[in-house]
Structure 1
Amino acid sequence: MKNPLRSFVLAGAACLLLTASALAGQTSTLWQTFRKPEDFAKLKKGDKIVYVCNECKTVSEVTVASPEEAMEHCKEGATVTCPSCKMKVRVAFRGPPKNQSVERQVTYVNEKGEECMFIAKAAPQK
């Protein structure tokens, strides 16, 4: 008669091996998401950013024209337009305004107040 614990351990090891080999073949793009005004302040003319729009399911790369233009992306109440679907979204901050220990984050919301876009630094070209 077989030992059930041994069979269970061997089955678990086989599943782990299959999962690890499947994940090894996947590649992903990692973006540095901009969530603070300080992130936008570091941008210079010619830097590339991406708009990731959840409404039209697109990623659009845009070149920053000036540092002032970059800072427009983090002014509360300003509007940002998706380059693909032309939808206008509003810049909003999330987090408690009076609690200085919790950092407020820049978000982009649609007319329903739902987060629908984010902006990130474009991955460097290889």
Structure 2
Amino acid sequence: MSRAALLLAGCLAAATPARAATVEVEVDGIEAGSGSVYVALCQGGLSEAACRDGETARATGPRQRLVLRDVPPGTYALAAFQDLNGNGRLDRTPLGLPLEPYGFSGEAGRNARPDFARAAFSLREPGLALRVRLMRALPAR
């Protein structure tokens, strides 16, 4: 094969878009009662604005499995929470502490303020499975 043909083949291979992956999330620590479990993929940070794409399921037991499909390969973190009162968001105190069970991928938020770098993982096709354990910052009221 000529040098030009090899160069063209290399450029075409590099231009082929990455295929989407699947993220299977097992959420543990779901509290008994009503509500929903939310999981979201975060890019670049752990703020609500950075954690837009996700899935929701009714809380039916202490463990729930959710699947995020067609996720482009990249670096992400995962945020999860249980919406106990059904208002569609993670309730917080005036100081910003979560009032409902929440969790992140990796070790983020277990002993300190949540940090994207500690929660981040690299996603490639065909995908991966993660486990997130929900916890409370404050005792239940």
TM-score, with normalisation over the residues of structure 2?
A: 0.25
Asked which structure has the greater CA Rg, the reply is 1
TM-score, with normalisation over the residues of structure 1?
A: 0.27
Structure with the bigger RCO (C-alpha within 8 Å, sep 6+) is 2
Larger fraction in strand: 2
Larger fraction in helix: 1
